[in-house]
Amino acid sequence: MAAEIVEDECKLQLISPNKTLWNSSYMAVERIIRIIQEKGEDAIRNVCEEFSVKLSPDEIAFLTEYCTVMKPVVKALNILQSEANTHMGCLLPVIVQLQENLNRQETYSRMCQPLIGAIQDGIEKRFGGIMKHPELIAAAILLPKFKTTCTERTDIIEADLVYVRQHLDQMAETAVEHVGQISSDEEDFFSSMKSKRSQTIGELDGYLACVSNGIELLNSFPHIKKTFSKVNTGLPASAACERLFSCAGLLFTAKRARMNSTNFENQKLLKLNRKFIE
């Protein structure tokens, strides 16, 4: 009956928060604000009167500001927990953009100052110690859509470009040493003077100068692509593993306790990959 009343008045259903979805509280509040924006406050007021609930203008203003503050946090976490087109290099740019967004909101927020402060403190506590990690910055630089725009700190960018160049130097020296194994002593002795090293450094400059931001750009720069694969292999969040364990828990229930390992594995693979066969 309650669902029918909400449907008649709002033309949309309300969302109930739950314990398994971290952003369910935001989604529930966002739905209320959406109804107010699309149907007006009268729709929500009629529902509240039907259920003997009071929702004051100040509470509506607070919920609106709450959605404004939490929206970039929601977007940031959705990017990081994605399983497609997400690399370790996304972590630093996402955190930097989120911090800048929160700093802007802090100047004109009236009711959510404590919330903004708590989010900023949480970001600093969790990620403050790794924000200048060279491998993390290199992962962002070697993503074509970011390159040197992942942070406004030019000193950090310059320091990390040196880090990338050092890795390219090591690749060049390894390649030259491999050739030197079948060359004469004289050629092996002067191997570090060969042009291989300058080619890899020129490859980095060419990569940074390209205006293309597609991932296929890496195919034109083999040494850059190899370094990219090294630092961007891992995912910035464990959401993919958590989904796997959650799916396993849904399959292995009390009524299916005698399922053998082969059957369990096959059912899990079918469930997780059904999007490829539908």
pLDDT of the residue at 64? 93
Q: What is the rounded CA–CA span in Å between residue 36 and residue 13?
A: 13
pTM: 0.76
pLDDT band at 95 (very low <50, low <70, confident <90, very high): very high
Contact between 150 and 92 (Cβ < 8 Å):
yes
pLDDT of the residue at 195? 47
Q: Looking at the chain, how many residues does it have?
A: 278
pLDDT band at 113 (very low <50, low <70, confident <90, very high): very high
With a cut of 70, say whether residue 178 has pLDDT above it: no
pLDDT digit string, tens, across residues 183-226: 556 555 555 555 455 556 678 888 888 888 888 899 988 888 88
Angstrom distances, CA of residue 266 to CA of 122, 247, 252, 263? 40, 13, 12, 5
pLDDT digit string, tens, across residues 36-48: 888 888 888 888 8
Q: What is the rounded CA–CA span in Å between residue 148 and residue 146?
A: 6
pLDDT of the residue at 197? 52
pLDDT of the residue at 256? 80
- Residues 6+ positions from 43 with CB-CB distance below 8 Å: 9, 10, 35, 36
With a cut of 60, say whether residue 97 has pLDDT above it: yes
pLDDT digit string, tens, across residues 227-254: 898 888 888 888 778 878 888 888 888 8
Mean pLDDT score, 8-34: 85
Q: What is the rounded CA–CA span in Å between residue 144 and residue 215?
A: 6
User: Which residue type, as a one-letter code, is found at position 261?
Assistant: S
With a cut of 80, say whether residue 128 has pLDDT above it: yes
pLDDT of the residue at 122? 95
**If you average pLDDT over every residue of the chain, what do you get?**
83
pLDDT of the residue at 187? 59
Annotated domain spans of the chain: 83-236, 239-276
pLDDT band at 93 (very low <50, low <70, confident <90, very high): very high
Which structure tokens are listed for 2? 């309650």
Residue of 13 and 173 predicted with greater confidence: 13
Cβ-based neighbour number of residue 135 at 10 Å: 14
Q: What is the rounded CA–CA span in Å between residue 224 and residue 209?
A: 13
Lowest mean pLDDT among 26-40, 42-56, 128-142: 42-56
With a cut of 90, say whether residue 124 has pLDDT above it: yes
